[in-house]
């Protein structure tokens, strides 16, 4: 007899075992091992399950769903199969210490950091956020570099956010919800603030901005390991951090300090991005390693963290950033945009892997 010949055979366990035959196309692993099968329920009306992926624009939905239905059909089921797609549970963060409260509606919080200024951290944060948004995700971008808020310039955004009740409505551009001190303190007037004031404004930006349903909240941190970084990490369960460096030995010396800081506060490090990795001459095509070469990858290997890739020193990246038009807005085929799209794919995959470590709750349900 087939699996569905008798009511007693309608067990989620047997269905899960059968679904191990369904392979996730990119990782080449089965969807049960990847913890993608959630909320599996069997009832007299049929079978229902959710397939969890971190990226709403996951490109293999049709393939995976077709394979799932084919496996269930082979089991002899004549019952209706309802498949939903959803996000996985939040990634593990080493516990949630007192005071670290989730941001309602925000699924993943990714801090983009550097130990040193001038390495292109904001360029990476902005283009990563826009690339994720262009892939179909709901993305927020928080410019936490209160002393040097460059996000508004790079996105070509100006104006002031408005309040709705006790919530601040962020500005929007390139598919992002954006909040920055640059909107509240435009021009050249400097901010001369001490730690407590920084802590207060960070809490307002995080807790009182109407982020809504957001797949990724990208936070552009100031360089270093100071008050803003600690205030954020101590009060928000950051999912993971990305470190931006150049191949320069001086920049990498500060990156190592940032790695140790994130490890001490138990924040997962997704990896290192090497910006301005090399210069490709637009005239002769010759590649030049202006700041040395390969040091970012070597540092990642030393600390046993992933190396997320190289971003070249490209005139188009600078020109479009200065003009308020992120290079990724040109599309994936633009040479200055491709490295950022590659980075976005790696980040989405890494966050999905983090989330898959969390046991499904509930994994199966019988009704």
Task: Collect contacts of 9-15 with beta carbons under 8 A, ≥24 apart.
Answer: 10/42, 10/366, 11/42, 11/366, 12/40, 12/41, 12/42, 12/363, 12/364, 12/365, 12/366, 13/364, 14/75, 15/40, 15/42, 15/47, 15/72, 15/75
Look at residue 240 and tell me whether its pLDDT is greater than 90. Answer: yes
Look at residue 84 and tell me whether its pLDDT is greater than 70. Answer: yes
Most confident of 17-21, 94-98, 348-352: 17-21
Of residues 271 and 12, more confidently modeled: 271
Supply the mean pLDDT for the chain: 81
How far is the CA of 119 from the CAs of 1, 141, 262, 277, in angstroms?
65, 19, 19, 10
**Whole-number Å distance between alpha carbons of 152 and 158:** 6
Look at residue 117 and tell me whether its pLDDT is greater than 70. Answer: yes
Which of these ranges, 126-130, 143-147, 353-357, has the smallest mean pLDDT? 353-357
Look at residue 147 and tell me whether its pLDDT is greater than 90. Answer: no
Say how far residue 267 (Cα) sits from the centre of its chain: 14
State the distance between the two ends of the chain, measured CA to CA, in whole angstroms. Answer: 23
Q: What is the pLDDT of residue 100?
A: 65
Q: What is the pLDDT of residue 269?
A: 93
Confidence of residue 227 (pLDDT cuts 50, 70, 90): low
Task: List, in order, residues 6 or more apart from 166 with CB less than 8 Å away.
Answer: 208
If you average pLDDT over residues 160-171, what whole number do you get?
A: 88
pTM equals 0.73
CA nearest 303: which of 349, 264, 260, 265? Answer: 260
Of residues 183 and 191, more confidently modeled: 183
Cis peptide before 362 (omega within 30 of 0): yes
Look at residue 272 and tell me whether its pLDDT is greater than 90. Answer: yes
If you average pLDDT over residues 191-199, what whole number do you get?
A: 57
Domains 7-86 and 106-355 share a fold: no
Tens of pLDDT, residue by residue over 285-305, are 788 888 777 788 888 999 999
Of residues 137 and 280, more confidently modeled: 137
Q: What is the pLDDT of residue 57?
A: 67
Q: What is the pLDDT of residue 92?
A: 46
% residues pLDDT > 70 (the chain) = 83
Tens of pLDDT, residue by residue over 29-55, are 889 888 888 888 888 778 888 888 866
Q: What is the pLDDT of residue 251?
A: 78
Of residues 202 and 155, more confidently modeled: 155
Look at residue 96 and tell me whether its pLDDT is greater than 70. Answer: no
% residues pLDDT > 90 (the chain) = 26
**Whole-number Å distance between alpha carbons of 101 and 367:** 34
Q: Which two tokens stand for residue 345?
A: 């794919």
Tens of pLDDT, residue by residue over 324-345, are 899 999 988 888 899 999 999 8
- Locate the domains of the chain by residue range: 7-86, 106-355
| Concatenated DSSP letters of 288-332 | E-BTBSSHHHHHHHHHT--EEEEEEE-HHHHHHHHTT--GGGG-T
Q: What is the pLDDT of residue 103?
A: 84
Q: What is the pLDDT of residue 88?
A: 58
Superfamily of domain 7-86: Fe-S cluster assembly (FSCA) (3.30.300.130)
Q: Is 3.90.1720.10 the CATH number for 106-355?
A: no
Q: What is the pLDDT of residue 129?
A: 95
Contact 332, 341 (CB under 8 A): yes
């Amino acid at each position: 007899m087939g699996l569905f010949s008798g009511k007693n055979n309608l067990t989620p366990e047997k269905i899960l075992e059968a679904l191990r035959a369904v392979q996730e196309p990119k990782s080449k692993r089965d969807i049960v091992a990847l913890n993608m099968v959630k909320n599996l329920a069997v009832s007299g009306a049929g079978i229902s399950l959710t397939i969890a992926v971190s990226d709403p624009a996951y490109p293999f939905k049709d393939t995976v769903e077709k394979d799932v239905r084919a496996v269930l059909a082979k089991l002899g089921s004549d019952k209706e199969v309802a498949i939903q797609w959803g996000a996985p549970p939040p990634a593990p963060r080493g516990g949630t210490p007192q005071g670290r409260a989730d941001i309602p509606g925000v699924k993943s919080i990714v801090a983009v950091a550097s130990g040193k200024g001038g390495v292109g951290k904001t360029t990476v944060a902005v283009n990563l956020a826009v690339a994720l948004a262009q892939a179909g995700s709901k993305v927020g971008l928080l410019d936490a570099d209160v002393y040097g808020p460059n996000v508004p310039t790079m996105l070509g955004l100006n104006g002031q956010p408005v309040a709705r009740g006790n919530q601040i409505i962020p500005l929007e551009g390139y598919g992002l919800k954006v909040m920055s001190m640059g909107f509240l303190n435009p021009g050249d007037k400097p901010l001369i603030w001490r730690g407590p004031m920084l802590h207060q404004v960070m809490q307002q930006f995080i807790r009182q901005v109407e982020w809504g349903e957001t797949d990724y909240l990208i936070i552009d941190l100031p360089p270093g390991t100071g008050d803003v970084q600690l205030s954020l990490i101590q009060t928000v369960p950051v999912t993971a951090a990305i470190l931006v460096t150049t191949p320069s030995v001086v920049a990498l010396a500060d990156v190592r300090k940032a790695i140790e800081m994130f490890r001490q506060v138990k924040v997962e490090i997704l990896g290192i991005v090497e910006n301005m990795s090399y210069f490709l001459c637009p005239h002769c095509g010759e590649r030049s390693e202006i700041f040395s070469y390969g040091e970012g990858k070597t540092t990642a290997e030393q600390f046993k963290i992933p190396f997320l890739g190289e971003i070249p020193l490209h005139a188009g990246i600078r020109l479009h950033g200065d003009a308020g038009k992120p290079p990724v807005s040109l599309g994936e085929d633009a040479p200055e945009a491709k490295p950022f799209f590659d980075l976005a794919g790696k980040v989405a995959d890494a966050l999905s892997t983090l989330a898959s470590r969390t046991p499904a709750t509930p994994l199966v349900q019988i009704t």
